[in-house]
Amino acid sequence: TSAALTLLGGSVAALVVWKWLGKKMIQKKMEEARRTRDEGMKKMAKAVQQFREQVPRVQTDAILSLPLLELTGRLQDGSLSPRTVLYTYLEKVSALEVTQQTNCLRHFIPECEEQLQEIQQRKEKGLLYGIPVSIKDHIGHKGHLATCGLVQCLGTLMKEDSVLVKVLKRQGAIPFAMTNVPQSLFSYDCSNPIFGQTLNPLNPQKSPGGSSGGEGALIAGGGSILGIGSDVGGSIRLPCSFCGLCGLKPTAERLRWVLGLPFQPCSRSGWAAGEKCWCGCLLLSHPVPCALGPMARDVDSLALCMKALLCQEMFQLDPAVPPIPFNEEVYSSSTPLRVGYYDTDGYFPLPPCMRRAVKETRHALQAAGHQLVLFSPPRIPYVMTELFLKTFFADGGRTWLDVFAGDIVDPGLKPQVNSCKIPRLVKKLLALLLKPLQFLLLLKLKDVAMISTCRSVKEMWNHHHQIQVYRSQFITQWKELQLDVVLCPVLGPAFTTGYPGKLLTAISSTMLYNVLNFPAGVVPVSTVTEADEEELKLYKGCCDDPWDRTLKQAVSGALGMPVAVQCVALPWQEELCLRFMKEVETLSHDK
């Protein structure tokens, strides 16, 4: 007995030491990643200083204030040099005006200086000639990490540029910075244990949104004029809503799979072969696909970016992308539109200011000669629980949990992670005990522990079929009303940091168009007023339940923060979506 106790005690001690050593190793990797980032920032600051010594008289503010279309014109005609523009933006970032306030930068790309030299030697200037571009953390750039905020990804450098980066470079753009993301990308906040919390440049108490939150903060803070994000539930649109930017989530296949995840089983676009994506088929054959898209200060910038990306180079590098060039005629059209509209999806009531934005935009569109038709998106509670969340947690979240093995879980993700760790038997018992509250749980499901899973391959195939059926029904309803586009709300205004993790399913307004795979964009049209803040005090939501009260707390104290609307078109009609966004933008400026 004494020997057994000694053996047991020794085993426990060994386990404790092993766990301690594991944590020390994780801390060491994270410290090294932060040190590498800081060293890169110092190199960037040094390069800027050298440029300043060589060219002391640069009108920095004038350059930073130029809209993208005007900046490209100045670069094309030679009145501004790519070198001057690049170092002006690098100075904005390296001077810590943006990065220190927001912690939005994950890494500086020193190869931007090589790209600068290369484009200046070319005979032909691309559409984005000399434009500094920032890219989201997980979009592959040769020689750099694609971390997704995970320690396990800190040791894998990209062996080549992703297709998207190759096309950007071919069009003369200069990728110069990679931006921060939430851990595993599965959040609409922007925090991870390696690089920390990113803050909103318009209000440091607020989140910039996510998962493209680093992009949102950098662009809104003036440190970038054009960025590339990704969107699988609102990850482009929510940061744009929170930060007052314009952003487009295209039909996923329009810019198909030009990401660079170090654990994705595909090498065509720069991923490492033979390694596993955290959600299996999420990015390649997922029924709710991930889309890449541009983020910028105005709609014209988005259109120019799409025009530049939808080029022969893209179609040749990735044959899976349909060879459909940008249709300038559709984008430039002034034909009156038939616009469907709604200010609530009946699932998660949004704050009064967001509904006000839809109402005011609707009236402005009517006054401008467009036809407005009430539209009611069908069965959103079913879509949210049975289609969207069940897609991501088809296996109860076990595959997702695997990426946190040997890692520190970010506080914002702990509620979801802990829910997924609950044994299946316990989940079944909880479901049985809570059956009397089943309707309420289905209406406002906030806990991934209660999400049903796919228990067999047959169930998974049926789940895929249900998504296709819903898409068909939605399109039929759209066609019956003879709609061109739809105007609807987007989640906002910006949440206080930490709150997105408490309200996972508040994203129903954006999530819907990922399930449908429709192009959808966000345009800021107003700001939060004192009247909005007063009306928020009376907000009861759907049931005045804890989740409604949490939303109220999340968005309070947002006076002066951006208020946006969402614009939607049918699949493959990005140009029409952008044209509608442009109309909304113009009318909002005319108010």
Annotated binding residues for substrate: 185, 211, 232-235
Pair 301, 188: CB distance under 8 Å: no
DSSP result, 575-587: HHHHHHHHHHHHH
Pair 179, 136: CB distance under 8 Å: yes
Classify residue 411 as exposed, middle or buried by CB count within 10 Å of its CB (0-12, 13-18, 19+).
middle
Q: What are the DSSP E strand ranges found in 152-261?
A: 174-179, 191-192, 196-197, 226-231, 246-249
Q: How far apart are CA 422 and CA 94, in angstroms?
A: 45
Q: Tell me the C-alpha to C-alpha distance, in Å, between residue 37 and each of 43, 109, 503.
A: 10, 10, 31
Please list, in sequence order, all residues whose beta carbon lies within 8 angstroms of the beta carbon of residue 335, skipping any fewer than 6 positions away.
none
Q: How far apart are CA 200 and CA 565, in angstroms?
A: 19
Pair 224, 134: CB distance under 8 Å: yes
Q: How far apart are CA 485 and CA 488, in angstroms?
A: 10
CA atoms within 13 A on the CB side of 368: 23
List the one residue out of 384, 513, 403 whose CA is nearest residue 450: 384
Q: Is 235 a catalytic residue?
A: yes
Q: How far apart are CA 105 and CA 181, in angstroms?
A: 9
Q: How far apart are CA 568 and CA 504, in angstroms?
A: 22
Pair 389, 451: CB distance under 8 Å: yes
Give CB contacts under 8 A, 24+ apart, made by 195-198: 195/33, 195/34, 195/37, 195/103, 195/106, 195/149, 196/103, 197/103, 197/497, 198/102, 198/103, 198/104
Report the phi/psi class of residue 406: left, alpha or beta, with left for phi > 0 and alpha for psi in -120 to 50. left
Report the phi/psi class of residue 407: left, alpha or beta, with left for phi > 0 and alpha for psi in -120 to 50. beta
Total Cβ atoms within 10 A of residue 7 = 10
Total Cβ atoms within 10 A of residue 401 = 17
Q: Of 207, 235, 419, 508, which residue is the catalytic one?
A: 235
Pair 207, 167: CB distance under 8 Å: no
Q: For residue 88, what are its two tokens?
A: 């002006």
Q: How far apart are CA 354 and CA 562, in angstroms?
A: 10
Q: How far apart are CA 361 and CA 365, in angstroms?
A: 6
Q: Of 92, 94, 136, 444, which residue is the catalytic one?
A: 136
Q: For residue 284, what are its two tokens?
A: 């390649």
Q: Of 184, 187, 211, 212, which residue is the catalytic one?
A: 211
The secondary structure of residue 490, as a DSSP letter, is: -
Coil vs helix vs strand at 51? helix
Pair 251, 228: CB distance under 8 Å: no
Total Cβ atoms within 10 A of residue 328 = 11
Q: Is 211 a catalytic residue?
A: yes
**Known catalytic residues?**
136, 211, 235
